[in-house]
Amino acid sequence: MGTYILKRIMAIIPIFLLATLLTFGMIHLSPVDPAEAYLSAAHIQSTDEILAQKRHEFGLDQPLHVQYVNSIIKICQFDFGISYLSNKPVWDEVTYRMPATIQLALGSIILAILVSVPLGFLAGIKKNSGIDHFSRLLSFFGASIPSFWLGYLLIFFFSVKLDLFPVEGIGTWQHLVLPSVTLALPLIALYTRLLRASVLENLQEPYVLFARTRGIHEKVIMGKHVLRIAISPMITGLGMNLGKLLTGTIIVEAVFSWPGFGRYFIEAIFNRDVPVIQCYVLLAAGLFIFSNLIVDLIQMCIDPRISRKGGQRQ
């Protein structure tokens, strides 16, 4: 297991390098000149003098390979450069906004788990019952409605009409409710269906019949055996979605004026704020890698067969 973890950690380095190369390539292949983008964002009529000065300031007048190597060296020192737009260190700007995004992501993931685990499980063990139909309806709704639209609907009904929650902003737990629900609904849809399918599949397994013939209590069979094994695909899904969740906050943050990282990134894209875009892509890549690693480890703990299989292969 130790070698496995070490191998996984070592694999992070080439993935990161690839991510930096891809971002760098994409930004520099785009026809938009960051210096020009800076000036148009500032509503300045661009002259050759300012363009040249800005390009020099941003280091864009250097050869591409020099720019790339410089950015890698800096990243290794945890220096993501200075934002073209705000003139402040990118890392400071990111860490200032990160807690809000994490709060939102955590809020929705907890909500998603709280709703989808009981709902998916009950829908599975009570196939074609009322709760199963309800879960299907909710999943259909959650999977098909776009986040921004759902956000507007929730604001319209719960803030404007019923005056239960604030329209926008951050601060109290009430501020967290609507954005979390918006972000959690697609996850709820996904996890409920995953868990339901997995429970149904497990109910057909011989171990359930065997346990029943041994006279083991139904509650124990369901809770200790079926749920424990059936939840495994959901955990994989959760891990894969953790990175997606942080990136998914982009739209929700914009709709609910949540002062997080996603909104900052959107502005950076529009203004071609290269250092911020690079930092975001690297963080997102890191998060995907890290969450997948964590999920694999959890899976191993829940279902030791996985690690054994891994061990046999080695």
Partner 1 sequence: MSKRRKSKQVLFISAIVLILSTLLLGCTNESKENSTSNKDSKDMLTLAWPRDIGEMNPHVYNPSQLFATSMIYEPLVSYQDGGELKPHLAESWEISKDGKEYTFNLRQDVKFSDGTSFNAEIVKKNFDTILKNVDLHSWLGFITKVDQTEVIDQNTFKLTLKEPYYPTIQELAVVRPVRFLGDAGFPKDGDTSKGVTKPVGTGPWILEEHKADEYAIFKRNENYWGELPKVKKIKVKIIPDAETRVLAFEKGDLDLIYGEGAISLDAFKQLETTGNYETSISDPVATRQLVMNTKKEQLSDLRVRQALQYGFNKKAMVDGVTSGLEEKADFILPTNFPYTSDIDVTAIDYNVEKAKALLDEAGWKLPKGKNVREKDGKPLEIELMYDSAESIQKAMAETLQSEWAALGVKLNIVGVELTVQIERFKANDFELNFFSNYGAPYDPHTFVNVVGSEGFGFNEAISSYPNRDELLKQIADVPGTTDEKERQELYSTILESLQDQGAIVPISYIKKIAVYQKDVSNFTFPANRDEHPFTGISIEK
Positions that interact with partner 1 (CB under 8 A): 31-33, 36-38, 40-50, 52-53, 84-87, 96-97, 118, 122, 152, 155-156, 159-160, 163-170, 172-174, 177, 218-219, 254-257, 259, 263-264, 266-267, 271-272
Instruction: Determine if residue 170 is left, alpha or beta; phi over 0 gives left, psi from -120 to 50 gives alpha, anything else beta.
Output: beta
CB of 159 to partner 1, least distance (A): 6
3-state secondary structure the chain: CHHHHHHHHHCHHHHHHHHHHHHHHHHHHCCCCHHHHHHHHCCCCCCHHHHHHHHHHHCCCCCHHHHHHHHHHHHHCCCCCECCCCCCEHHHHHHHHHHHHHHHHHHHHHHHHHHHHHHHHHHHHCCCCHHHHHHHHHHHHHHHCCHHHHHHHHHHHHHHHCCCCCCCCCCCHHHHHHHHHHHHHHHHHHHHHHHHHHHHHHHCCHHHHHHHHCCCCHHHHHHHHHHHHHCHHHHHHHHHHHHHHHHHHHHHHHHCCCCCHHHHHHHHHHCCCHHHHHHHHHHHHHHHHHHHHHHHHHHHHHCHHHHHHHHHHC
Kindly state the smallest distance separating residue 266's Cβ from partner 1, in Å: 8
Q: Measure the CA–CA gap between 198 and 86, rounded to whole angstroms.
A: 49
Nearest to partner 1 of 75, 266 (CB atom): 266
Least distance (Å) between residue 173 CB and partner 1: 8
What minimum distance in Å lies between the beta carbon of 155 and partner 1?
Answer: 5
Least CB distance from residue 118 to partner 1, whole Å? 6
Of 216 and 297, nearer to partner 1 (C-beta) is: 216
3-state secondary structure 111-123: HHHHHHHHHHHHH
* Closer residue to partner 1 in complex, CB, 131/297: 131
Q: Is 259 or 310 the residue whose CB approaches partner 1 more closely?
A: 259
* Tokens 């009950």 belong to residue: 122
Between 61 and 218, name the residue whose CB sits nearer to partner 1: 218
Task: Report in angstroms how near the CB of residue 297 gets to partner 1 at its nearest.
Answer: 31
Minimum distance from CB of 225 to partner 1 (Å)? Answer: 17
Kindly state the smallest distance separating residue 283's Cβ from partner 1, in Å.
18
| C-alpha distance across the termini of the chain, in Å | 10
| Residue closer to partner 1 (CB basis): 192 or 291 | 192
Q: For residues 257 and 292, which CB has a smaller minimum distance to partner 1 in the complex? A: 257
**Residue closer to partner 1, measured from CB, 176 or 300:** 176
